[in-house]
Amino acid sequence: MSVDAYGRRKHGTGGGQSVMGGTLSRSAWLAVVAIGAVSLALPSRGAESTIAFTSNRNGNMDIYVMDPDGGNARTVSRNDAWDWYPTWSPDGKEIAFSSERDGDMEIHALHLSDGRTRRLTRQRDLDYAPAWSPDGSRIAYTRHEGRLSEVHVMDADGANSRPLTDGPAATEPAWSTDGSRIAYSTQDGVRMVGPDGADPVHFVRGMASDPAWSPDGQRVAYRASDDRSPDIYVVDIDGRDPVRLTKHGGLDYEPVWSPDGREIAFTSERDGGANIYVVDVDGRDDPRAITRSGTLDGQPAWARPGASLLAAAAGVAPATWGWLRRRGSN
For the stretch 71-89, pLDDT in tens is: 777 888 888 898 888 898 9
For the stretch 253-288, pLDDT in tens is: 989 888 888 888 888 888 877 777 889 999 888 998
- What angle is formed at CA 281 by the lines to CA 278 and CA 286, rounded to 5 degrees? 50
CB 236 within 8 A of CB 194: no
Q: How many CB atoms lie within 10 A of CB 284?
A: 7
Q: How far apart are CA 46 and CA 31, in angstroms?
A: 39
For the stretch 232-259, pLDDT in tens is: 999 999 888 899 999 888 899 989 888 8
- Model pTM greater than 0.95? no
CATH level 2 (architecture), domain 2-312: 6 Propeller (2.120)
CB 45 within 8 A of CB 263: yes
